[in-house]
Amino acid sequence: MSLYGVPRYRISRAISTFLRSLPRRCKHTSPDKVPHVAIIGSGPAGFYTAQQLLKGHPSVRVDIFEKLPVPFGLVRFGVAPDHPEVKNVINTFTQTAEKDRCSFLGNVTIGKDITVSELQKNYTAVVLSYGADADRTLGIPGEDLPNVLSARRFVGWYNGLPEDKELPVDLSCDSAVVLGHGNVALDVARILLTPLDILKKTDISEHALASLAESRVKQVHLVGRRGPLQVAFTIKELREMVNLPECRTVINPQDVASLKELINDLPRPRKRLTDLLYRSGCEPAEKDVKRWADAVRQWNLHFCLSPQEVAASADGKGPERVKFAVNRLEGPDLVNQKAVATDAVTDITCGLVLRSIGYKSIPIDSTVPFDADKGIIPNKNSRVQGTKGLYCSGWVGRGPVGVILNTMTDGFDTGKVILKDMEEGQLETTGKQGHAEVKDILTQRGVEIVTFSDWEKINTSESEAGKKIGKPREKITDVPSMLGVVKSKPS
């Protein structure tokens, strides 16, 4: 049987589908019942929090604020250019940003263009997920010399972060010292030592590529204050360094010889990493020995050294050497032993020093609680202490630890906490207009808001520029040029 040529079973199915949808739609049609959430920061923490909110609530609207005209934060500006596979997460973030209930508001500086208090007046919840934009320092003499730089800013320099484009990097020296044994330390060492033909095929910024083309750096020393059982880098990064073309790995056998007896008793990830450290120092593969014999560059891994002073060159225009205290390790737990300085000292000659000892967050607004000692926003289960409706996600809440996977978990957990508070009626929705009201405020203040569609214009422009020179993209490295692309390309 049919009705006007349409089978009755199809009509019945359509009616049933419609009726099932009515309660959900009716329940959330009132504007006063629609929750609006503002997320400050468009890196992994922000996007994963947004993803969880949009998935967990049928009508919530999410606005993601970003101080730059371009999204993705540390994925765009922190991931090494020779690690394109890590950047694939951008595809997932793009899907989130393109959802009807999600908006991207780029080129908006919170605390300057609009305050957190103003956002709280207009949003059911505000999530702080702006990461860690400052460096931990050593507090030693000579740290402020020219060419003594933070690894964070060096990464921003070669990744095209606008604020680091003009970083005064001098690569005219033969030797560099990287202070730290984390993945970022290995990243910057690898970029300094990677053959130019490889870097040319990545999205490394053109100004950095030009500088690296003239680099005289042939040796990089990676120095940590503790031993091989305490290194913070992962096996993937270590393996890349060991296999780096035209580059020799130098690990003092005396530093790693004792590891052989301990390897089998270590947890699996630490076991594999420690085994590679031992073999690279004491029993390198024949193929590696042959390759290293012809190497034109090398990297050295040093343990149990704490920097005491950066000594200036004779002309005072940069470092000449770093002076170190030799440490011993103390404590019953071998993996978590502490470094204690001895009276012994040593030094390493260099003309470039990169400090890679950790990041810290900074206050974004005077109304937001902040623990300056820990460099985080005080919170309990992502809820900012003493402020209802204010949350934090990612490094700004738990400190700069872990990789993107850890941040994903944290973002999801923050989203679930907010959804729970909504469900229990802990958050106010009445009178919260969200995007509509805030957009008017920003427009009245002359802020040029960059939407996600605008970002796609920048994305297209960068991809086209990169294609012409055999790269995946050529990043635009200053904000005025980004805004210029937005204005010049039709919608």
Helix crossing, 235-242 with 183-193: angle to 10°?
Answer: 20
Q: Residue 390: what residue type?
A: L
Express as a percent the part of the chain with pLDDT over 90.
85
- 28 found inside a domain: no
Q: Is the pLDDT of residue 12 over 80?
A: no
pLDDT value at position 16? Answer: 47
Question: d(Cα 289, Cα 476) in Å, to the nearest integer?
Answer: 41
Residues 178 and 313 in one domain: yes
- 461 found inside a domain: no
Q: How confident is the model at residue 30 (pLDDT cuts 50, 70, 90)?
A: low
pLDDT value at position 41? Answer: 97
Residues 190 and 80 in one domain: no
pLDDT value at position 24? Answer: 37
Residues 228 and 299 in one domain: yes
Cβ burial 99-132 (10 Å sphere, 16+ → b, else e) = eebbbbbbbbebbebbbbebbbebbbbbbbbbbb
Task: At 252, list the tokens.
Answer: 């003092």
- 67 found inside a domain: yes
Last residue of a domain, one of 357, 391, 418: 357
Last residue of a domain, one of 338, 357, 376: 357
Domain count, the chain: 2
Q: Is the pLDDT of residue 28 over 50?
A: no
For residue 280, what are the CA distances in angstroms to 274, 276, 277, 284? 10, 6, 5, 5
- 221 found inside a domain: yes
pLDDT value at position 359? Answer: 86
Could you read off the pLDDT of 132-189 as tens digits, one per residue? 888 899 999 999 999 999 999 999 999 999 999 999 999 999 999 999 999 999 999 9
- 304 found inside a domain: yes
Last residue of a domain, one of 318, 342, 357: 357
Q: Is the pLDDT of residue 268 over 90?
A: no
Q: Is the pLDDT of residue 414 over 70?
A: yes
- 18 found inside a domain: no
Beta strands 247-251 and 359-360, pairing class: unpaired
Q: Give the CATH number, domain containing residue 76.
A: 3.40.50.720
Q: Is the pLDDT of residue 209 over 70?
A: yes
Task: Find, among 221, 133, 134, 233, the residue nearest to 182 by Cα.
Answer: 233
Residues 68 and 189 in one domain: no
- 270 found inside a domain: yes
Residues 195 and 324 in one domain: yes
Q: Is 365 helix (H, G, I), strand (E, B) or coil?
A: coil
Residues 58 and 194 in one domain: no
Task: At 281, list the tokens.
Answer: 């120092």
Express as a percent the part of the chain with pLDDT over 70.
93
Domain that holds residue 209: 137-357
pLDDT value at position 31? Answer: 58
Task: At 33, list the tokens.
Answer: 């019942």
Residues 141 and 243 in one domain: yes
Do 163 and 150 meet the contact criterion of CB atoms below 8 Å apart?
Answer: no
- What value does the mean pLDDT take over residues 194-203? 97
Residues 142 and 102 in one domain: no
For residue 226, what are the CA distances in angstroms to 242, 299, 336? 20, 18, 9
pLDDT value at position 382? Answer: 96
Residues 219 and 347 in one domain: yes
- 110 found inside a domain: yes
Q: Give the CATH number, domain containing residue 336.
A: 3.50.50.60
Strand order in the sheet with 61-66: 102-106, 61-66, 36-40, 125-128, 390-392, 383-384, 379-380
pLDDT value at position 21? Answer: 40
Could you read off the pLDDT of 282-338 as tens digits, one per residue? 999 999 999 999 999 999 999 999 999 999 999 999 999 999 999 999 999 999 999
- What value does the mean pLDDT take over residues 85-94? 95
pLDDT value at position 1? Answer: 36
The H or E element containing residue 200 is none
Place of tokens 């985080």: 376
